[in-house]
Amino acid sequence: MLRKTTFFNTEDVEYGVSELMKIEPKFVEAVSLSGVPKIRKSELGFKSLFKTIVGQQLSTTAANSIWNRLYDSGMTVPTALLASEDGFLRSLGLSKTKISYAKGLALADINYEEFLNKPDDYIIQKLLTIKGIGMWTAQIYLMFSLRRTDVFAAGDLALKEGVRILFDLEMRPSDDELTVIAKRWQPFRTIAAMIIWNYYGYMKRQKG
């Protein structure tokens, strides 16, 4: 059975999906088309947050390309990043702004191990003190690094578009509107988001 606040394996996700399909009939349609979502594996700590910063406002393909160059150059650990010249980091694809954010993150006084036993709101407030980390980045960290079960990144564009398509809405919901919609999916909002992302990806592929 799924633990109250975290999920760790395929069985946990399948349980959450089965419970959500009882709550939300539209998820039956989504899962029948796109399947049960797979767990996205993300590391704990600096590297995971840095990768999320790299991917801000970029396509998945572009973000992965930059991240691979950073990784191959040994730039995904704080000490190496701080010791590097900005010009070198720009040559790997990081913008001036993201270099500033990344180095700020590397210098941040964050005890990542502490997060394992802290509530969601505490972690979000702690992360929001770091320049370059907004609500979306903090929520994604909770969802995929800490695997918290009941988090919903209402500002995510793909979630908004996925909900618009699945629920046959005329317009994408606003952040506030989507937050209200998602309340009925408690306490499995992370898994609900995974269903919607999976469904949205399926619909995009169908369009070619």
For the chain, which residues score pLDDT lower than 70?
1-4
Distance, CA of 189 to CA of 114 (rounded, Å): 23
Tell me: do 50 and 135 sit in the same domain: yes
Among 125, 144, 163, identify where a domain stops.
144
Whether residue 186 is found in the same domain as residue 156: yes
Q: Does residue 170 form part of some domain? A: yes
In this predicted model, what pLDDT tens digit does every residue of 128-185 receive, in sequence order?
999 999 999 999 999 999 999 999 999 999 999 999 999 999 999 999 999 999 999 9
Looking at the structure, do residues 75 and 156 belong to the same domain, yes or no? Answer: no
Q: How many CB atoms lie within 10 A of CB 12?
A: 18
pLDDT value, residue 1: 42
Share of the chain above pLDDT 70, in %: 98
* Domains held by the chain: number: 2
Mean pLDDT across the chain? 93
Are residues 116 and 26 both part of a single domain?
A: no
* Residue 178 resides in a domain: yes
Report pTM: 0.89
Q: Distance (Å, rounded) from C-alpha 110 to C-alpha 93?
A: 26
| pLDDT attached to residue 205 | 92
Beta bridge partners of 148: 6
Residue 175 structural domain: 10-39+150-207
Number of H helices and number of E strands within the chain? Answer: 12, 0
Q: How far apart are CA 127 and CA 134, in angstroms?
A: 8
